[in-house]
A and B are shown apart, each in its own frame.
Chain A
Amino acid sequence: MTTTTPTRRVGTTTPAHRANTPVRGRRSPLASVALHLTLITASVIAVFPVLWVLLTSLKPAEFAITTDFVKETTLENYTNLLRDTPFLTWFGNSLLVASLTTVVGVFISATTGYAVSRFRFPGKRGLMWTLLITQMFPVAVLIVPIYNIMSSMGLLNEPAGLVITYLTIAVPFCAWMMKGFFDTIPREIDESGYVDGLTPFGTFWRLILPLAKPGIAVTAFYSFITAWGEVAYASAFMVGDENLTLAGGLQKFVNQYGAQWGPMAAASVLIAVPAALVFLFAQRHLVTGMSAGAVKG
């Protein structure tokens, strides 16, 4: 893929009149068509599997495996799901775990990222390495020891146990992102805070955090998605209908009722909706946040 028009930064504050300066390099209509075709193809591939599940969930269960796009549209899959299964309980559990993970995760990543970005302290390099290495250790092998720790602390079947575990997955990446993000905020701002007599923590809380909203949006999104969609720990740590999260519940659903595609599809749609909402909320910031975070590595 090559560039034929000078690319513009989105969201720069240059006046719009300057934006049309170059007269050379206008795109030919043919090139435009090619670009749109590429994007349309990619979008269809990206959206289709999800759309297909949505369409399936709206067909009567017995037609789930037919390939008609629409067939006797009905909401019966949804009503059956909500009436006959503990779906809402699982949903509540997932929501609780994911929200807690997001709030605590964002807070911890932000403080860590800030400390690593602003202060030189003994152990800093080691900490950055540790954060990277924790990403490397396979879940599959940690599960048994973590299970034992949780059971000795009495945290099995408790949302807190899952939240703590998810923090270990989400925080390392988020802290890296936040560090990169804070690196782009000028230090003069911190210094002005000190001059006004703020403590380092006060500076961080009152001056820097409000400036780091895009970075926070990215980390919140990442933490939420991580916790919302995690399968392995959720299945291992939570037992009993009333404690399951959605990931665990859905598995049970498959085993218990065979592969009933219709209700499964309905459940999938209901699971995808909150994730998509969080995503909509965060996506305006995703690009800027990611660039700032990843640029500095």
Chain B
Amino acid sequence: MAVDTPSQSVAKAAGDSVARGRSRGTGKPRGAAKRSLSTHWYAWAMVAPVIVVIAVIIGYPLIRGIYLSLTDANERNVARSIGVNEIPATYEFVGLDNYTEALTGSQFLATLGWTLVWTVSCVALTFALGLALANILNRKIAGRSAYRLMLILPWAVPGFVSVFAWRFLYNQDNGLLNKILAGGGIDAVPWLNDPTWAKFSVILVNVWLGVPFMMVALLGGLQSIPSEMYEAAEMDGANAWQRFRHITMPGLRSVSTTVILLSTIWTFNMFPVIFLLTRGGPGEATQILVTQAYKFSFEVSPRDFAQSSTWGVLILVLLMLFAAVYRRVLRKQGEVW
């Protein structure tokens, strides 16, 4: 919790030369160093809770995860207690064996391939749909707030409820989707039971879940573009496409880059949709890296902590590389954060 002690020092913002108002009665001139120290003290006090929580809950597990990925730990050789007997850990350090195994084996690469397809298609589709809807909602149109409310609904309903709803709709024998198709004389589609259809289905659900966030963020961005710019462009005879291309797109740059980065990271690690919709099946067809790593830890026997951690570390490395490259590309285009 941030500290709220009345300190005597008043950190003055740089550049405010004459302090008006009540005299503070100290009268001592403060050195710049001391002033900066007091400011830092406040800043650090304010961020301390975050630092502590992250260090304990993310930092330690992260280091432990990296360590486990360099061993052959699994359910049978970690320290555990059976009744009153403490069994010490017997797993051994194996260096980078897990990594070579993952990177040369077919399973990791195949899963990575599908994960990339999944991430790119989900992000591209949600962004395109979110942009389209945001543009429509940003205009004068009857019933705008009602539309907006309905369109944000998928975001407001808890994910596992939505996924349950979709499973219900996808159900091969009794699901509504197949009933509708049957009404049109089309054979039932094995939405979740055929590898290709299952991939299509999970992407569809994730896009359905993800559009509202994109739409709201982009709508906010659109509303921060001054309307005078559009008016001026119209006076100068720019047509609708030109206005979109030269005013809307540049105006949305900063929002877009942020939401694309975030949603790429989230989609890459999207656990609940896959886990609850298909459990990674049929076979391992829809298993993305995260769900597969979870499976190693919880669903195979013996539970394979080492391999799970290895995949986790690889996921982290991939995403960090992505973020670094992404930032570099943005910087080249003159965007800085």
Interface size on B, residues (CB 8 A): 128
Question: Known contacts being A49-B165, A287-B216, A291-B223, is A6 close to B230, with CB within 8 Å?
Answer: yes
A-B contact pairs, 14 of them (CB 8 A): A2-B244, A3-B138, A9-B224, A11-B223, A39-B151, A135-B262, A138-B271, A139-B290, A149-B60, A190-B13, A204-B46, A229-B161, A275-B157, A291-B223
B82 interface contact, C-beta 8 A = no
- Partner-A contacts on B (CB < 8 A): 1-4, 6-7, 10-13, 16, 19-22, 24, 39-40, 42-47, 49-51, 53-54, 56-58, 60-62, 64-65, 129, 131-133, 135-142, 147-162, 164-166, 168-169, 171, 174, 176, 179, 208, 211-212, 216-217, 219-227, 230-231, 234, 240-241, 243-244, 248, 254-255, 257-259, 262, 265-266, 269, 271-272, 275-276, 289-291, 293-294, 297-298, 305, 308-309, 311-313, 315-316, 319-320, 323, 337
Best-surrounded residue of B43, B219, B241 (most CB of chain A within 10 A): B43
Do B154 and A53 have beta carbons less than 8 Å apart? Answer: no
- Note all chain B residues with C-beta closer than 8 A to A197: 10, 21-22, 24
- Whether A138 pairs with B42 at a CB distance below 8 angstroms is no
- Give every chain A residue within 8 A of B10 (Cβ-Cβ): 194, 197, 199
A231 at the interface (CB under 8 A from B): yes
Contact pick for B162, options A42, A50, A196, CB 8 Å: A50
Interface centre among B10, B298, B305 (most CB of A within 10 A): B10
- Once the chains bind, are B208 and A46 in contact (CB under 8 Å)? yes
Interface of B is mostly: helix
CB-based nearest B residue for A190: B13
A39-B147, A138-B315 known; A279+B152 contact, CB < 8 A: yes
Inter-subunit contact A194/B12 (CB<8 Å)? yes
Docked Cα-Cα span, A168 to B315, in Å, equals 18
Q: Which residues of B contact A149 (CB under 8 A)?
A: 56-57, 60-61
| CB within 8 Å for A53 and B165 given contacts A43-B151, A119-B43, A139-B271 | yes
Whether B40 lies near A3 (C-beta < 8 A) is: no
Residues in chain B near residue A196, CB distance under 8 A: 21-22
Measured CB to CB, the nearest residue on chain A to B165 is A49
User: Contact partner of A201 among B4, B61, B137, B297, CB < 8 A?
Assistant: B4
Is B305 in contact with A119, judged by CB distance below 8 angstroms? no
Q: Are A200 and B39 in touch, CB under 8 angstroms?
A: yes
> Shortest CB–CB separation between residue B59 and chain A, in angstroms?
9
Residues of A within 8 A of B248 (CB): 3
